[in-house]
Every structure is written in structure tokens, then in C-alpha cells.
Amino acid sequence: MSRRLIPLTAFVMTFCAISAHAQSRKAPPGTFKELDDVIAGNALILHGKQLFIDNHVIARLDGVRKVLNQPVKHPRNPLLRKSRHEQAIDFGTVVHDPKDGLHKMWYQIWADQENVGTVGYAVSQDGIKWKKPVVDKSTGSNLVIFDPKQPWVGAPGILIDRRDPDPSRRFKMTYSARPGPTSTLSSCVAYSADGTHWKAEARNPLIPFSDTQICPYWDARLARYVAYLRFGPPNIRKIARIESTDFLHWSPKLTVIPGKSRLGGPSSNLDKPFATNHYTMTAMPYAGIYVGLLNTYHGETKTPIPDDKLWMDRVDAQLVFSRNGVTWQRVLKDGAITAQQLRENRDWKQAAAGATFLPYGKFKKDWDWGQIYPHHPPLIVGDEIRFYYAGISARHWAALHKDKPDHAIGLATLRLDGFVSVETDRKGTMTTRPIVFLGDTLVINANAKGGSLVVEALDVTGKPIKGFSASDCAPITTDSVRHVVTWKGHKDCHLLQGRPIRLRFHLKRAKLYAFEPGIRHSHYLQSYD
């Protein structure tokens, strides 16, 4: 009996000793924090990556400027040319399929006879080198197969739906269709298990008129499918939005980017200098916000074009931005502009000239000199964003201008998060609004090669927090999309978590693209009193 009590007694004595030791330990200052709406005040609660397209997190810019960055066109462009049986190719979609690791492309084909629209299919291992596999063995072509056969189909907007439990609906498509030779174009949906054999929805058409691409995506925040398409009927060049919970029942169209049409109506100040209409829009959720490419059609005309207005009857793309996916802002060379600012008096010709995000090529020299139409959706591949697009070496009314159009598909790439940077060629600072972040690491996307960048944390009154001043920060002097900011004497910055602070970025010949609160460490602690 006594032998059994000895180990138990020892355990109790040891446990009591450990507990007493734990109770005698003091927690380091700032280890435990509390937060409520009084403490937080008007500080922004941040969870993820913060971009600078708008001024949501920015309080002050001193000696720095915001810059809209253009994607870089791939040196191997065009990546895909039309085949002999294809009169023209344009609107399309490129996705990466994780199931087989392939990049997959669907694009509209205008055939030689009777202006018939069909959909072609191409695949690629790396998204650069493409091939057109045989899909329809009866014809030996790469045309996708519809059941029932569609008399006219075009402008495919496609997504891979990982949520749908039905494997036959893994691929979903929106497309424009003309049920009969004299019918008005309407918008339809179809489903596929493999992306090549499609089952058209029996209740088509589902959405009123749209003769250009419909760009759908799944919005996880809203738990709904969302799509952007042309307003209509009637045929008016402005952008509308629809949404659905089942890809079958769609909400009425809501115009989200208005524009002037051939039928009349108002246009924004930004669109007036170059008589700009809106052709299509592709969009996607990105880092908690929404970004889109708006096809801007400038100076539509069927008459001869003077040499001093060679921008007329050509199409390029501008960047648009939203925090809710419904109300959209146009983006100028120094960032997003609100609807209220669009109504102000300013040099709108200069503003419009600087708003181009994805430009057409050099006049009558490049393969895409006349028109570009970005595919849906942009892809994130590694540390770059890929914008696939159809390019046309002719103006919109090519025959009337005696242009000889060629059609192909190319690629332009942008640095991850690289839409709008905060930068300076000299020295300057960007200071955030009061923020509260959850995490232990500050990660920034910046290019400080040839310069430097340091960060300091301020309290809400603007005073540097001890241990987190600019002089405590290890300078960043290289280029990376994932710099980890460090301060002397701190293995991380968890002491900044859960309290209202401001961040001040000190730039010297550097570019800042984004910052993000990260979580990289284990914070298990022994008991404290």
C-alpha cells in the first residue's frame, strides 16, 4: 500500500512545484491584449493583403506618388494564331485545371461561311506553348461539341466549379447564342465534365441580349455566381452585372459602368475626350477586393480617319476597381477615382490618355495594333498575373478603313499585386490610417533594389512605438514579392497585434506594391500568474 503512495505523492509534489513556479512568472509586457470597439475606435481591422489602387488604407503621401503599372506583353506573342478554317478568333477564356495540370483555352471562331460562330479549344502545359487537339473526331477539328447542336455560339466565358457535386457540371459556360438566322443574340449557359463536350441548358436562353463575352466567376464572399456583360436589349455599349445562386436563375441586369451609346445617353467625363464606349468587362476577386479590365472603344467611326486622330475606331483596356463587386471605380494613372470625382472639372483629356492599362500595339506595325480583348479571367501563376487577350491588326470597322485584319491570341503579365505602386525616385513616406491587424509578421511586396525601404510603427497620436521605430527596422534593399519586415530585438511583430497603430513606410528610390499581416510563428506559452 505504501509503495503505491510514494509515486503518487512524488507526482503531486512535482505538479505543485511546477504550478507554483508558473504562478511566480510574469508575462512579458504587451503579451496579452484586449480589444473592443472603444479601443479600436475608427481603426481599420485588417486580415489580409492591402493594395493601393484606392486610398482605403492610406492617410498621407509625402514625397511619393501612386503609379498605375501596365502589364508587359510576352516576347513570344502572339501565342496562338488562327487556323486556315478560322476567319477570325476573339473572345475567350483561359483557365488552369488542377485536375490534370493543363492550361485550357476556349475561344470564339468566326467561320468562313455565313458568319457562323463556333468555339475552339486549345491546351498547354505551361500556358505559353499551345496546341489545338482534335475534339470532334468526325471532322478532325478542335471545335467543342454541343448537345444539342447550337446553330450559332460565341463569346465563351468559362469557370471550373469545384463546389458542384455533380461531375457533369464541373465546367460551366456562359455564351452568346442565336437560336435562328434572324434571331437576336441571347445569353445561355452550358455544362461539361471535360470541357470539350457540352450540354446546353434546356431552359436557354436565360439572360437577355448580349453580343459580347459574358464573364462569370464564383464569389465566395457572396456565395453567388457573378457575371458582367453588355447591357441590353437594345444594343447599348455599357456594362451590366447579374448574379445567381444556381447558375440558372439570374438577377435582372444592373448597369454598373454607364456609357454613351449610338442611341444617345450620357457618358462620364473620362469617356468624353476620346468618345469612348465600353465593349466588355472581365473581373475577378483579388486579395479581398475586385479588379477588372474594361474594354474601351475609342472614337467609333465608319468615315476616313485623319492622321492626327489615329486613336479612332480602336480598342484597348482600362483597369477598374471595386470593394464590393457592384460599385466600380475607374483607375487613372495615379489610382482609382470615385464617381463624385468623375463629375469634377479637370483636364479630362490628359486623364483619359493616362488611364490605359493594357494598350493596343503600334499603329500598323504590331500584330495587335487595332483592337485587344482580354480573355476571362486573368490567371495568377506563381508570382505573376497573366492577362490573355485576343489581338486584331485592324480597326473595328476594318473593311471601311481598308484594313486587312489578322486575329491572334497573346499574353501580357503583371507582377503579383502590381496594379498600382507607391514609389519615389528620391525619398518619401507613406503613412497608413489607424489600423489593427491580426498576426505576428509584416510582409511587404516591394522593389527596393538600388534604394532602400524601412517601416516604423506609430501609435494613434503619431509617435513611434518603442522598439519599432524606423531606426530599429532592418533596411530592405532587394526586390521581392514577400519581404519580411524585422526590427532589432524582436523575432516578430506580435506586440503590434490587436492595438490601433499606424505604419509609416520610408522609401528611397523604391516601389511598394502591397503589405500584409502574416502569421508565421507558434505562440504557445507556459502559464503565467
- Between the CA atoms of 299, 302, 304 and 307, what dihedral angle is there, to the nearest 10 degrees? 20
**60-63 LR contacts (CB < 8 Å, sep 24+):** 60/429, 60/430, 60/431, 61/422, 61/428, 61/429, 61/430, 62/428, 62/429, 62/430, 62/431, 63/424, 63/426, 63/427, 63/428, 63/429
Report the C-alpha gap between 43 and 458 in whole angstroms. Answer: 13
Position 103 scores a pLDDT of: 98
Position 183 scores a pLDDT of: 67
Report the C-alpha gap between 476 and 400 in whole angstroms. Answer: 56
C-alpha cell at 214: 459574358
Burial 211-225 (b: 16+ CB within 10 A, else e): bbbbbbbbbeeeebb
Best CATH choice for the domain 72-417 from the list 2.115.10.20, 3.30.1360.200, 3.55.50.30, 3.40.50.300: 2.115.10.20
Per-residue model confidence as pLDDT tens digits over 113-148: 555 678 999 999 999 999 999 999 988 999 999 999
What are 227's strand-pairing partners?
Answer: 216, 242
Report the C-alpha gap between 371 and 390 in whole angstroms. Answer: 8
Please report, for residues 110, 117, 118, 452, the alpha-carbon distance to residue 113 in angstroms, rounded to integers and kept in the order given.
9, 10, 12, 61
Asked if residue 2 has pLDDT above 50, the reply is no
Q: Which amino acid is at 450?
A: G
Question: Within the chain, which residue ranges are assigned CATH 2.115.10.20?
Answer: 72-417
Burial 4-27 (b: 16+ CB within 10 A, else e): eeeeeeeeeeeeeeeeeeeeeeee
Per-residue model confidence as pLDDT tens digits over 421-441: 999 999 999 999 999 999 999
Average pLDDT over residues 40-61: 95
CA pseudo-torsion sign 177, 178, 184, 189: negative
C-alpha cell at 3: 509503495
Per-residue model confidence as pLDDT tens digits over 512-524: 999 999 998 887 7
Please report, for residues 151, 231, 313, 317, 389, the alpha-carbon distance to residue 396 in angstroms, rounded to integers and kept in the order given.
25, 20, 6, 14, 16
Position 154 scores a pLDDT of: 87
Position 15 scores a pLDDT of: 45
Annotation: CATH topology of 35-69+421-518: Jelly Rolls (2.60.120)
Position 5 scores a pLDDT of: 47
Asked if residue 19 has pLDDT above 70, the reply is no
CA pseudo-torsion sign 153, 156, 160, 161: negative
CA pseudo-torsion sign 145, 147, 152, 153: negative
Please report, for residues 62, 297, 320, 327, 408, the alpha-carbon distance to residue 338 in angstroms, rounded to integers and kept in the order given.
22, 21, 11, 10, 35
Burial 296-310 (b: 16+ CB within 10 A, else e): bbbbbbeeebeeeee
Per-residue model confidence as pLDDT tens digits over 250-307: 999 999 998 765 445 557 899 999 999 998 999 999 999 999 999 999 999 999 999 9
Please report, for residues 203, 239, 271, 330, 346, the alpha-carbon distance to residue 342 in angstroms, rounded to integers and kept in the order given.
41, 17, 10, 9, 9
First to last CA, the chain: 37
Per-residue model confidence as pLDDT tens digits over 448-475: 999 999 999 999 899 999 999 999 999 9
Find all residues with CB under 8 Å of 92, minimum gap 6, and list them.
105, 106, 107, 108, 156, 213, 375, 376, 388, 390, 409
Position 297 scores a pLDDT of: 95
Position 222 scores a pLDDT of: 95
Question: Within the chain, which residue ranges are assigned CATH 2.60.120?
Answer: 35-69+421-518
Position 263 scores a pLDDT of: 47
Share of the chain above pLDDT 90, in %: 75
Nearest of 386, 295, 321, 316 to residue 93 by alpha carbon: 386
Per-residue model confidence as pLDDT tens digits over 391-420: 999 999 999 999 999 999 999 999 999 999
Average pLDDT, the chain: 90
What are 408's strand-pairing partners?
Answer: 81, 391
Rg (CA), the chain: 28
C-alpha cell at 265: 445617353
Report the C-alpha gap between 57 and 53 in whole angstroms. Answer: 10
Report the C-alpha gap between 236 and 259 in whole angstroms. Answer: 8
Report the C-alpha gap between 501 and 426 in whole angstroms. Answer: 26
Per-residue model confidence as pLDDT tens digits over 346-390: 999 999 999 999 999 999 999 999 999 999 889 999 999 999 999
Q: How confident is the model at residue 7 (pLDDT cuts 50, 70, 90)?
A: low
Per-residue model confidence as pLDDT tens digits over 224-252: 999 999 887 777 788 999 999 999 999 99
Share of the chain above pLDDT 70, in %: 91
Asked if 426 and 509 count as a contact pair (C-beta separation under 8 A), the reply is: yes
Q: How confident is the model at residue 1 (pLDDT cuts 50, 70, 90)?
A: very low
